[in-house]
Amino acid sequence: MICVSIAHISQINEALQQGAELIEVRLDLIREDPGEIFSGIPGHMKTIATCRSDGYNDNERKVLLKACMDLGASFIDIELESSPGYASELIYHAQECATDVIVSYHNFGMTPDRDELRGIMDKCYKLGGNIAKIATTVNSREDLNSLLSMYELPGRKVVIGMGGPGRITRVMAPYLGAEFTFASIGGGGETAPGQMTVSQLNDIYKVIDKT
């Protein structure tokens, strides 16, 4: 399944036209009322509500994420480094709304070694995540091997490498058991380094599936 990450409300229609199967609503980038955002998303479309801390405090983020859950968000994303109070309040609300919780870890500088990645993944589940998401910057072949080895572990997960060398992990993720992989609509709409477009991923998958 391909998740298209949306940074502006105007990108929703483009994502739908390109064949998005899941939409990540980046509240910290869109900066619009959740009601207005979700009014433009078809009811059958699965969504991830994400609000990073840039420009928002924890109370503001909780209000936004809870509103998205009340509007039917399929998933919320909580950062691994979140305070216990922030995380527990959102997880409790997610349980009331039957919303799956993604606990995410991002490292924009490097990829930890395998043992550290295993520990990070375990912490994601212990915090209360139904799904562990790990996204790190790939600087070497060993980084790729370390990331891909996480798919050998039990549990629902998404493990991807950021940057150009990490693109192969975005392609491989669905075949290795990831819940989904991330893409953009293109045209400068990327929300993370190394994101490919929906069209690029679909073209690659068509070739792979034919062979």
Q: Is the pLDDT of residue 192 over 80?
A: no
Q: What is d(CA 175, CA 172) in angstroms, rounded to the nearest whole number?
A: 5
- Span of 87-91, 104-108, 163-167 with lowest mean pLDDT: 163-167
Average pLDDT of the segment spanning 185-210: 83
- Catalytic (active site) residue 133: yes
Question: Strand runs (DSSP E) across the chain, as ranges?
Answer: 2-6, 22-26, 46-50, 75-79, 100-107, 131-137, 156-162, 181-184, 196-197
How many helices and strands, by DSSP H and E, does the chain display? 9, 9
- Catalytic (active site) residue 126: no
Q: What is d(CA 10, CA 75) in angstroms, rounded to the nearest whole number?
A: 21
Q: Which residue has the higher pLDDT, 190 or 117?
A: 117
Pairing state between β 2-6 and 181-184: parallel
Q: What is d(CA 178, CA 180) in angstroms, rounded to the nearest whole number?
A: 5
pLDDT category of residue 211 using cuts at 50, 70 and 90:
low
**Active-site residue, selected from the candidate residues 8, 62, 93, 106:** 106
- Span of 55-59, 70-74, 132-136 with lowest mean pLDDT: 55-59
DSSP state of 195: P
Structure token pair of residue 22: 């899941």
What is the architecture of the domain spanning 2-210? Answer: Alpha-Beta Barrel (3.20)
pLDDT of residue 210: 79
Question: Side chain identity at 124, as an amino acid letter?
Answer: C
- The length of the chain in residues reads 211
Q: What is d(CA 48, CA 149) in angstroms, rounded to the nearest whole number?
A: 25
**Active-site residue, selected from the candidate residues 62, 133, 206, 210:** 133
| pLDDT tens column, 27-48 | 999 999 999 999 999 989 999 9
Beta-bridge partners for 87: none
pLDDT of residue 50: 97
Residue with tokens 């975005």: 170
